[in-house]
Chain A
């Protein structure tokens, strides 16, 4: 037993990855010392102006930082904290709560495969395995299961960079990934955006299908030195 009164920070198991326990807990970053992309600052400030309490902008601000950095890296969180003038810890707490905010580096193309009950009844678990086999090792892709995405009418389905496609067959996996790699609209014929309502009595006449949706390309700044991608 050491007699020194100094406490050494613990990094024992149970801590969230995003929490850096070696840092002081409540320091709001000094704007002078944080390098800040101006576009990100402008976007976050825009969000903050929308609310009676600017703290409400935490989610849109973190989402903006994630679009820029690819994930909620410590640097991204520090930049958001700097603009919002809150502690990085409070934002890390938020980031770890939400499924769409990534707290470790991921591929820039997200493939969320819904494996909740309705999709699973229609073969989503096998579909997910196929996605993992086909793209699980590709660092460009973030293939993961997701809870109900609210599109059980096209089960089994996936959200690919925010574009809903389904009903997917196992033979759709490769063409889908090819579309993403080529930067094309993903499986245009299977996009939810195009579909008409299922209720046959809703429309009084035959209407054409809706336009195809294009994924918004993910911006990403150059990975800083030492940051693993």
Chain B
């Protein structure tokens, strides 16, 4: 049984990035058709398809468009191409290989929403993809798909490809808006939501690349047929980026609702020979982790939410059983510490202290009660900031602590034992030197101050102290 390809059909056809090949395959026909329809009819098609946003939040695209105020107001459409959620690389492949599909979908959505000014905010690291988009946009303008009086209709649309400069937070919609206005990418207080007050204080529609690229397919199939794909609440196909410990990492197009095991093992080949799935992030590193026991969960918005995680951007990161979970947690936490914009205290301080506490475990200075503290810091972040960056660290870290507590406790114990061995080793060797009459800290010691090690009450006391675990351990368990 072959899978349905809407976005990836013959994606590697030579020259698909050019208008000629895209048009030969029926490209821009849907835009042509949409322009003959009333905008309300086009919007009804998008709404009827049940399409949910592909960027992370999974909000109904049609409803989002309908939130925009009607009438002669200067409104904006911003395509979020700042794909920076760790593990996600689907938009990259789409923009690089089929940029005209994005431009066509964007134009249709803009027409449906009555928007005449649009921007694509692409992350600065995607140099090739931005160059491809620029070239495609020039072609689209030349052919009259973008510009004054699109295809001779009484509708105009301007489009600018705007390159970012490297900041995860600019993928957050209001951070993106500030960045697009030429400022630091600090998220804004919501409400007002961007649909009411966004770019340049005007009503703004913000959609992900994959969402907009899907729009031509919806018009082509008709909303009813599109809605037959996927599950009751998660319609259509979804691009899934799989990475980490799998044999065939990459992008795959699947119908929503496919069992996760089939994606991870069937498509991506599963972990290397002899290894098992220890945990996996179903929707980018911001999603709470699931374990090897959760592989039969259908891959769709609601099933993953019910399992306590999320579909997010559709990025599966697989971690095999040879990887210490502490390393995973630390890597994730460090990323969010680096990317926190610093505007809200719970996020700025919470990400920083979480990293410090996890490092303390690594250095052998932690006790199991530190896990409680980390968990409480995570709960202190969630829901208390302007945006969800802090939550995006707190959710996976919280879930790692909840699901891998025995392993983390063992790591704490092991690192502490090792550190204590080093510590008592260095005490013993320093003592041996002092017993031989060496000065301590540059100060000569009186003869006989340090009896042989075997007779020293000081050393005996130190040894007892190190052997006994601190009292907090007992309290924690």
The answer to whether A binds B is: yes
B13 smallest CB distance to A (angstroms): 6
From B124, which residue of chain A is reached at the shortest CB distance? Answer: A100
Indicate if the CB atoms of A97 and B167 lie closer than 8 Å. Answer: yes
How many angstroms from the CA of A159 to the CA of B244 in the assembled complex? 18
Asked if B251 and A94 sit within 8 Å, CB to CB, the answer is: no
Enumerate A81-115 residues with CB–CB distance to B below 8 Å.
93-94, 97-101, 112
Partner of A197, one of B243, B251, B319: B251
**B435: shortest Cβ distance to chain A, in Å?**
41
Q: Are A56 and B180 in contact (CB under 8 A)?
A: yes
**B48 sits at the interface (CB 8 A):** no
For A, the interface residue count at a CB cutoff of 8 angstroms equals 56
**A116-124, A129-137, A170-178, A221-229 - the one binding chain B:** A116-124
Q: Which residues of A contact B9 (CB under 8 A)?
A: 202, 204
User: What residue in chain A is nearest B92 (Cβ atoms)?
Assistant: A150
Which B residue's beta carbon lies closest to that of A50? B160
Q: Is the CB of B181 within 8 A of A150?
A: no
Closest B residue to A148 using CB positions: B86
Give the chain A neighbours of B327 by CB distance below 8 A: 120
Known interface pairs A93-B184, A149-B125. Does A51 touch B160 (Cβ–Cβ under 8 Å)? yes
**Which chain B residue has the least Cβ–Cβ distance from A211?**
B14
Tell me whether B339 and A150 are in contact (CB under 8 A): no
Are the C-beta atoms of B13 and A207 separated by less than 8 Å? yes
Number of A-B contacts (CB under 8 A): 188
Give chain B interface residues in 45-94, CB to chain A under 8 Å: 74, 83-89, 91-93
Is the CB–CB distance between B163 and A99 below 8 Å? no
Known: A147-B84, A198-B248, A198-B250. A55 touches B92 (CB 8 A): no
Would you call B5 and A150 a contact (CB within 8 A)? no
Q: Please tell me if the beta carbons of A118 and B84 are within 8 angstroms of each other in the complex.
A: no
Contacts of A207 in B (CB 8 A): 10, 12-14
- The contact string, 1 if C-beta is below 8 Å from chain B, for chain A 174-198, is 0000000000000000001100111
Interface residues of chain A: helix, strand, loop or mixed (majority)? loop
Tell whether, in the assembled complex, residue A118 and residue B243 are in contact, meaning their CB atoms are under 8 Å apart: yes
Q: Indicate if the CB atoms of B124 and A58 lie closer than 8 Å.
A: no
Q: Which of A195-217 contact B (CB under 8 A)?
A: 196-199, 201-205, 207-208, 210, 213, 216
Say yes or no: is A153 at the interface (Cβ < 8 Å to chain B): yes
B249 touches A152 (CB 8 A): yes
Contact with A along B204-237 (1 / 0, CB 8 A): 0000000000000000000000000000000000
Do the beta carbons of B244 and A100 come within 8 Å of each other? no
For residue A197, which residues in chain B have a CB less than 8 angstroms away from its CB? 8, 11-12, 93, 97, 250-251
B185 contacts partner chain A, Cβ-Cβ < 8 Å:
yes
Give A76 to B339 CA distance when docked, in angstroms. 25
A201 touches B5 (CB 8 A): yes
Asked whether A155 is an interface residue with its Cβ less than 8 Å from the other chain, the reply is: yes
A164 interface contact, C-beta 8 A = yes
A52-75 contacts to B (CB < 8 Å):
52-53, 55-60, 62-63
B320 closest partner in A (C-beta): A121
| Chain A, residue nearest B202 (CB) | A52
Please determine whether B251 and A53 come into contact, CB atoms closer than 8 angstroms.
Answer: no
Does A28 count as interface, using CB distance less than 8 angstroms?
no
B182 at the interface (CB under 8 A from A): yes
Option from B12, B93, B184, B328 in Cβ contact (under 8 Å) with A203: B12
In angstroms, how far is the closest chain A Cβ from the Cβ of B138? Answer: 13
Q: Is the CB of B243 within 8 A of A198?
A: no
> What is the CB-to-nearest-CB distance from A132 to chain B, in angstroms, rounded to a whole number?
18
Best-buried of A57, A58, A101, A201 by chain B (most CB within 10 Å): A201
Say whether B445 faces chain A, with CB atoms less than 8 Å apart: no
Does A162 touch B at the CB level, under 8 Å? yes
Q: Are A147 and B335 in contact (CB under 8 A)?
A: yes
Smallest distance from the beta carbon of B133 to chain A beta carbons, Å?
A: 14
- Does A19 sit at the interface, judged by CB under 8 A? no
The answer to whether residues A153 and B251 also contact, given A93-B184, A101-B165 and a CB cut-off of 8 A, is yes
Partner of B165, one of A98, A116, A153, A216: A98
Q: Does A18 contact B (CB under 8 A)?
A: no
Neighbour of A117 across the interface among B8, B86, B126, B250, CB < 8 A: B86
Beyond A98-B166, A118-B244, 18 additional pairs, beta carbon < 8 A: A56-B180, A57-B182, A60-B163, A97-B185, A100-B124, A117-B87, A117-B332, A147-B84, A148-B84, A150-B84, A150-B126, A153-B251, A197-B11, A198-B250, A199-B250, A202-B253, A208-B14, A210-B14
Partner-B contacts on A (CB < 8 A): 50-53, 55-60, 62-63, 93-94, 97-101, 112, 116-118, 120-122, 146-155, 159, 162-164, 192-193, 196-199, 201-205, 207-208, 210, 213, 216
Which residues of B pack against A, CB within 8 Å? Answer: 2-3, 5, 8-14, 74, 83-89, 91-93, 96-97, 117, 123-128, 160, 162-168, 179-185, 200, 241, 243-245, 248-253, 267, 281, 285, 315, 317, 319, 323, 327-328, 331-332, 335, 338-339, 341
A-B contact pairs, 12 of them (CB 8 A): A59-B124, A62-B165, A97-B341, A101-B165, A116-B285, A121-B317, A121-B323, A147-B168, A148-B86, A148-B87, A150-B125, A153-B251
